[in-house]
């Protein structure tokens, strides 16, 4: 079963009525299409746990470009499939990886989380159960096998947790980031499939005003793709905001380093903001360097302005973040106003929204837990 189907614009399925109370937010339907599971299955799983198994909570980062999504499929390379293969090579037997948050094809993760149960069996004496591996051992061993693959996924943290700790149901909050690169210059090779390239300049102030309409507790039917299996379109956005950040890595030249040493840190910051051809923290200065006609020298490219949308909530509807970002982009280029965003939200139909943002700019940033 694929978690990234090509959904038609079926108005009826997007606009299902609901009278679910606010507490329904605690049913987890993640941004990239997590279907609802009954909590009773989670309880049953915990009650039937093998006492010889050690449950590990595992944080992973990955570049989503070459993955057909996170959830295991019959055909296609997936995050879960690659992780299960690495664990199998490590311990010599099949395991089941349970993700906290599903991500669609092309979506990246700075930190996604899963849990896995491992029974450590002696290779010298088959059948003998040994004490569990230390988390550091699990991390090093699994990464060893992951890096023999494409090298686009890595375990970043491992922790032992009780057998009833579920990566999905215990998650308290999820944070997504979406990156825009704004400007007419061709996108750098280093940024391919890492951000949404918008040719126009973006009005960050207008986008920030639009965010004020979207934050909070709403019926998000207008920001819910047709394949969404959530029982309720009601969600609470704890945060949705837009900020401008430095676009990419910056490597100062010898001359710049010498000048920085001579003039001190304040002068260094000033130079970074005003003279550098590829980036700034100041909106005005970035626009001048990005879109102006200043001769930067042969082989030196102008950077784009980089904007990041942050969306934080207990759970999200299917494609909710990307639909929200699509509307914010339309506001940023002047096609929509804050009043239009209010109208779209009130319409409770995804047909009222702007086209969905592409997957390449979306990052699952963090999954929050109250760890034991």
3 within 8 A of 102, measured Cβ to Cβ: yes
DSSP secondary structure string for all residues of 264-316: -HHHHHHHHHHT-TT--S-HHHHHHHHHS-----TT-PPPPEEEEEEEEES--
Q: Mapping DSSP to helix (H, G, I), strand (E, B) and coil, where does residue 234 land? A: strand
The Cα 49–Cα 72 span in angstroms is 22
Residue 335 annotated as catalytic: no
Catalytic residue from among 10, 25, 29, 104: 104
Q: Cα 50–54–56 angle (5° rounding)?
A: 130
Phi and psi, residue 274, nearest 5°: -110, -35
In 122-225, beta strands by DSSP E: 153-161, 173-182, 196-198, 216-219
Cα dihedral 253, 258, 262, 266, rounded to 10, equals 20
Q: Mapping DSSP to helix (H, G, I), strand (E, B) and coil, where does residue 17 land? A: coil
278 within 8 A of 248, measured Cβ to Cβ: yes
Which of 312, 252, 224 minimizes the C-alpha distance to 18?
224
Burial (0-12, 13-18, 19+ Cβ within 10 Å), 273: middle
Catalytic positions, written as ranges = 104
């Amino acid at each position: 079963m694929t978690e990234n189907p090509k959904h038609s614009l079926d108005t009826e399925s997007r606009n299902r009525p609901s009278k679910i109370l606010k507490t329904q937010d605690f049913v987890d339907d993640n941004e990239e299409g997590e279907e609802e599971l009954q909590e009773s299955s989670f309880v049953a799983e915990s009650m039937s746990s093998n006492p010889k198994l050690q449950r590990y909570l595992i944080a992973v980062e990955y570049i989503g470009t070459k993955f057909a999504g996170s959830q295991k499929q019959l055909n296609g390379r997936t995050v879960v499939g690659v992780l299960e293969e690495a664990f199998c090579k490590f311990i010599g037997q099949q395991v089941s990886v349970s993700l906290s948050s599903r991500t669609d094809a092309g979506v990246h993760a700075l930190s996604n989380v899963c849990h896995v149960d491992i029974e450590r069996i002696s290779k010298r004496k088959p059948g003998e159960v040994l004490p569990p591996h230390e988390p550091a051992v699990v991390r090093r061993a699994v990464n060893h096998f992951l890096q023999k693959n494409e090298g686009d996924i890595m375990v970043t943290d491992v922790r032992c947790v009780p057998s009833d700790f579920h990566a999905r149901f215990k998650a308290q909050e999820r944070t997504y980031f979406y990156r825009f690169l704004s400007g007419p210059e061709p996108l750098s090779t280093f940024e391919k499939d890492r951000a949404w390239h918008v040719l126009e300049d973006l009005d960050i102030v207008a986008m920030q005003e639009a965010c004020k309409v979207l934050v909070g507790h709403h019926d998000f039917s207008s920001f819910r793709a047709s394949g969404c299996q959530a029982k309720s379109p009601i969600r609470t956005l704890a945060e949705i905001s837009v900020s401008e950040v430095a676009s990419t890595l910056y490597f100062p030249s010898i001359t710049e380093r010498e000048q920085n040493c001579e003039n001190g840190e304040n002068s260094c910051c000033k130079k970074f903001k005003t003279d550098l051809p590829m980036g700034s923290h100041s909106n005005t200065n970035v626009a001048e360097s990005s879109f102006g006609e200043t001769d930067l020298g042969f082989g030196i490219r102008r950077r784009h302005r980089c904007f990041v949308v942050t969306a934080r909530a207990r759970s999200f509807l299917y494609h909710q973040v990307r639909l929200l970002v699509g509307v914010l982009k339309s506001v940023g280029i002047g096609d929509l106003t804050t009043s239009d965003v209010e109208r779209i939200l009130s319409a409770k139909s995804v047909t009222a929204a702007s086209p969905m943002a592409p997957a390449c700019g979306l990052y699952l940033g963090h999954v929050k837990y109250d760890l034991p």
